[in-house]
Amino acid sequence: MSRNDRVYIVDDDDASREAVESLVGEMNVASESYGSAEEFLKDYQGERPGCLVTDVRMLRMSGLELQEELKNRGCTLSVVVLTGFAETPVVVRAIQNGAVTLLEKPCSNYELWDAIRAGLAADAENYEKEQHLERLRNRLDRLTPAEKKVLDRIIGGQANKAIAANLGISTRTVEVRRQQIFSKLEADSVAQLVHLVIEAGQSA
């Protein structure tokens, strides 16, 4: 766990919410508490890494609906689900929505502690991966349309002369654009270029 970790507690039961908040405090992790999913969604600005601990049954939006709303927003924040009624459909829905785990109330402090630690660790890893992919995509976005055309052909295995003939430009122009591509993408080889484009998950 790092000093930037934060646990978000969403539960409309004051006693339950305060118990989780107290446990998180013992873990020396920062926390924020909310009495409803709506309140959390209104306040949450996407800070990461973190872990959301939410109850399933709440008066308005449920914990499962909160999970789904975060998913719809493209947020992959780790989620630990608590419930006093661990019916199979609830468990399945929570896991399908990407919950780290579902714990049945009352759970021990050790169970919840371990679940939160796992959630924070998973979210830190996911967040770093997302940041890495964002950096790769930003590099690709720096390429001009003309450079992207050359990149497409480089990773397609074409030599400079073939690229020049295909695009109707000089070999020297291809060489210049090739140098710019390697510089902007911070790559040292064609293999790195191919790996970067694949990892970024988008066509140059």
Q: Which tokens go with 8? A: 């978000």
pLDDT for 85 beyond 80: no
Statement: residue 166 has pLDDT above 80 = yes
- Domains belonging to the chain, first-starting first, are 6-130 (3.40.50.2300), 142-200 (1.10.10.10)
What is the average pLDDT across 172-189?
93
Instruction: Identify the pLDDT of residue 104.
Output: 86
The overall longest dimension of the chain from CA atoms, in Å, is 73
The dihedral through the CA atoms of 62, 86, 118, 115 has a sign that is positive
Query: 104-143, pLDDT tens digit by residue?
Result: 888 889 999 999 999 999 999 999 988 899 999 999 999 9
Rg of the Cα atoms in the chain: 24
DSSP alpha helix (H) spans, 48-167: 63-72, 88-96, 109-141, 145-155, 160-167
Is the pTM of the predicted complex or chain greater than 0.85? no
Cis check: omega of the bond before 106, within 30 degrees of 0: yes
